[in-house]
Amino acid sequence: MQRKIRVSLTLRIFLITSLILLAASAMTYGIIVQVTPTSYISIITSDFQKQADELPEKLEQTTVEECGAIIDRFIMDTGAEVMVKGKDGELLDIPSKYTANFGYGSGGIVTTVTMATVDEIVMKEDVRGFTIIKEEGAVVSDDWSGLSYTFSLQGQSEVNSLYVSPQTIKTNQTVQALREVAPLLLGVMLIFSVLCSMFYSRYITRPIVRISDISQHMAGLDFSWKCSEKRQDEIGVLGRNLNDLSEHLSAALRDLQEANEALQQDIDREREVERQRLAFFSAASHELKTPVTILKGQLTGMLEGVDVYQDKDKYLAKALGVTGRMEGLVQEILTVSRMESNGFELKKQPVDLRELVLKHLDLDGELILQKEMELNTSLEPVPVIYADPLLVKKVLDNVLSNAIFYAPDGAKLSVVLKKTAEGVALSVENGGSHIPEESLPRVFEAFYRAEASRNRRTGGSGLGLYIVKMILDRHGAAYGIENTTTGVRFWMKLEVE
């Protein structure tokens, strides 16, 4: 129970409010019980004093026969006890219904009063005290606290004494009544306190509990929950501030996630580049190792005069060919290395792609004739593109050389250049050959050759299309290689800036 109270704001406010209301009600009731007699006596005394002061004046204007009615009216209005004595101290015989007809009893003077709340009054000889005997038989003693006056009735010269005492029994009855209804009042106060506390605690804590739930969802990085409180007080302001904080945190978290994703992509890209660089240099070293080994073997054989190498002119020519292939491979490796360096920049200039294609076809014309290939061209006038002319020439050289080299003798060679909505499109297709479908996704990888033997007589270094890929990527071009029904087609699209 104590733990439940500690963790529940609603329950704590409910208990505290209930206790405060009960304490306030009990204190109010206690003050009423204590203050009521004093206040009642003060009020009664004030009114009684005024009426008592007027009574002798009224009696002086009446006769003995008329004074009884005035005294009875006074007793009925105030509930007081009245005693009238003559000049000799004897009770004055007046025609009153409520004044006592005194007689002598054992040890004092006895009178009977016909008041509703008193049955007998026992007067002592000094008339300074009396005893009230109630019907129930309980005896309550009190000291005489009355007022005394002197007056003379109309037509008489004798001075009479008037003794008046206020009634205080009603005060005691009020206190007793309050004490008797105390259990009922306590029950009413308890029910009222519980109901008020329930309403108050729910009214105060409902938005706080709602805000607490939202904050828990925010702690779990769930910013979809919103506080719907429309109150204009501090709790409403807190709810709206929490909504603003949720939106700002959501935006900040979203930006952070996007930044983390971008950073992770950069890291992955950097790792991939590093992996490709390592793979490239590993493959390059392997590609260089083979011709170097061949060249070393040929030169060693010629120097040592091995029989097969006696014809030095023949093997020097072969060594020169191996050296040429090594030079070409080194140049391609240097091209790749230069393009992968951080300081590499494209030197873009206006380039007429149609003119470049025509020049390359003219340079390769002799080789096309040697292989008896059928050349079909469709070169439309196209807009000038902005590109690095040296690199574009390298692309055309590699693509056209591969198309001619890998095509069988007598195959068709088709070159198409046309204008598109985005820029220009070039396609080169050679017939009579196909690339295995499983090799198509890898033809642009460094040192990859589609034939399994990797024989240099049937394949190049494997860097040609890799360099084409790097150049076109730098220019933001789209490109690809695909098998057709008659052969293999390379295509690329360059945008016009």
Whether 72 shows a pLDDT value over 60: the answer reads: yes
Contacts of 285 (CB under 8 A, 6+ apart): none
Whether 79 shows a pLDDT value over 80: the answer reads: no
- List every span in the chain annotated with CATH 3.30.565.10: 345-495
pLDDT band per the 50, 70, 90 thresholds, residue 478: very high
For the whole prediction, is pTM greater than 0.95? no
- List every span in the chain annotated with CATH 1.10.287.130: 253-344
Average pLDDT of 460-488?
A: 87
Fold that domain 253-344 belongs to in CATH: Helix Hairpins (1.10.287)
- Residue 451 phi, psi (nearest 5): -75, 140
Mean of pLDDT over the chain: 76
Distance CA 319, CA 100 (A): 162
* Whether 197 contacts 18, CB under 8 Å: yes
Lowest pLDDT segment from 134-148, 152-166, 263-277: 134-148
* CATH number for domain 11-180, candidates 3.30.70, 2.60.40, 3.30.450, 3.40.50: 3.30.450
Model confidence over 249-307: pLDDT tens digits? Answer: 778 888 888 899 999 998 998 888 788 777 777 767 766 777 788 788 878 888 887 77
Model confidence over 314-361: pLDDT tens digits? Answer: 878 888 877 877 777 787 777 777 777 777 788 899 999 999 999 989
Whether 171 shows a pLDDT value over 60: the answer reads: no
Look up residue 181 and give its amino acid: V
CATH architecture, range 345-495 = 2-Layer Sandwich (3.30)
